[in-house]
Structure 1
Amino acid sequence: MAEETSPDSHREAVERVRDARTFAVNLPVVGRIRVPRPEHLAYYGALGALAALEIIEWPIALAIAAGHVLVENQHGNRIVEEIGEALEDV
């Protein structure tokens, strides 16, 4: 017999998926800080190195990093929404 699920259980499932994709650290003064995945850390490190070596300007590196964060957040939100919709269909 299939178990009935409530909207709350769907939200909990979506939250679990969202939490599994991120890692956060609690810092004493700053609070909770989300740590990017290793491949993103490498990307940001490379941008920092290019800026430190003055191959690109700091404002350019910051603009590229900000654009990358915005694109990744949008992509992540879309995936979570699709999972939530799929769970609603079950």
Structure 2
Amino acid sequence: MANLTPEAIHKYVGTPVQVPVLGTVIVPPPEKVAFYAGIGVLAALGLVEWPIALIITVGHVLADQQHFRLARGVGEALEAV
């Protein structure tokens, strides 16, 4: 892939961490963790209903996955040129 340093990958995907029982777990970047924590706090305080918070979080995760796939596809296309 073109110009994908480990720092760039960790910025968008997360950092792999070894957990004894679970194995390798990808920890999201700090700004994504803050977003998820914020949604959790809003739901815990009752400002957002739990089903809505879950839908927002799942939508955010799916959008991030799609964005990364698109960026990887563009990078592979640029390498082929």
Q: Normalized against structure 1, the TM-score is what?
A: 0.74
2:31 to 33, 36, 39: 39
Identity, % of aligned pairs? 37
Asked if structure 2 preserves the Cα contact closer than 8 Å seen for 1:50 and 1:56, the reply is yes
Q: Normalized against structure 2, the TM-score is what?
A: 0.82
Secondary structure of the 1:25 match is strand
In structure 2, list runs of 5 or more residues that go unmatched. none
C-alpha root-mean-square deviation of aligned residues, in Å? 1.9
Question: For 1:9-88, what aligned pairs fall within 5 Å after superposition?
Answer: 13=1, 17=4, 20-21=9-10, 22-88=14-80
Secondary structure of the 1:17 match is coil
The alignment of Structure 1 onto Structure 2 pairs a total of residues equal to: 76
In structure 1, list runs of 5 or more residues that go unmatched. 1-12
Give every structure 1 segment of 4 or more consecutive aligned residues whose post-TM-superposition deviation is greater than 6 Å. none
